[in-house]
Amino acid sequence: MALDLLPVVDSAPATCCTPRAEAAITAEDAVALARTLKALADPARLRLLSLIAAHEGGEACVCDLVGPIGLSQPTVSHHMKQLAEAGLVTREKRGVWAYFTIVPGAVSAVSDHLALHLGVATAGT
Partner DNA sequence: TCCTTGTATCGATGATTGTCGATGCCATGA
Partner DNA sequence: TCATGGCATCGACAATCATCGATACAAGGA
Residues in the site for DNA, rule: CB under 7 A? Answer: 38, 41-44, 61-63, 66, 71-75, 77-82, 91, 95-98
Give 89's Cβ-side CA count (13 Å radius).
28
For 91-105, letters b (16+ CB in 10 Å) and e give: eeeeeeebbbbbeee
40 binds a second copy (CB under 8 A): yes
65 close to 75: Cβ distance less than 8 angstroms: no
**CA angle, residues 29, 40, 53, in degrees to nearest 5:** 125
User: Is 53 one of the binding residues for a second copy (CB under 8 A)?
Assistant: yes
CA 21-27-28 angle, 5° bins? 110
117 is a site residue for a second copy (CB under 8 A): yes
Quick check: 110 binds a second copy (CB under 8 A)? Answer: yes
Least distance in angstroms from the C-beta of 77 to a second copy: 19
- Residue 80 found at the interface with a second copy (CB under 8 A): no
Q: Which of 11, 23, 72, 73 binds a second copy (CB under 8 A)?
A: 23
> Could you tell me whether strands 97-102 and 59-61 are parallel, antiparallel, or unpaired per DSSP bridges?
antiparallel
Q: Which of 1, 20, 94, 95 binds a second copy (CB under 8 A)?
A: 20
Cα–chain center distance at 61: 18
**6 near a second copy, judged by CB under 8 A:** no
Q: Which residues bind a second copy (CB under 8 A)?
A: 8, 19-25, 27, 30-31, 33-34, 37-38, 40-47, 49-51, 53-54, 58, 68, 102, 104-108, 110-112, 114-115, 117-124
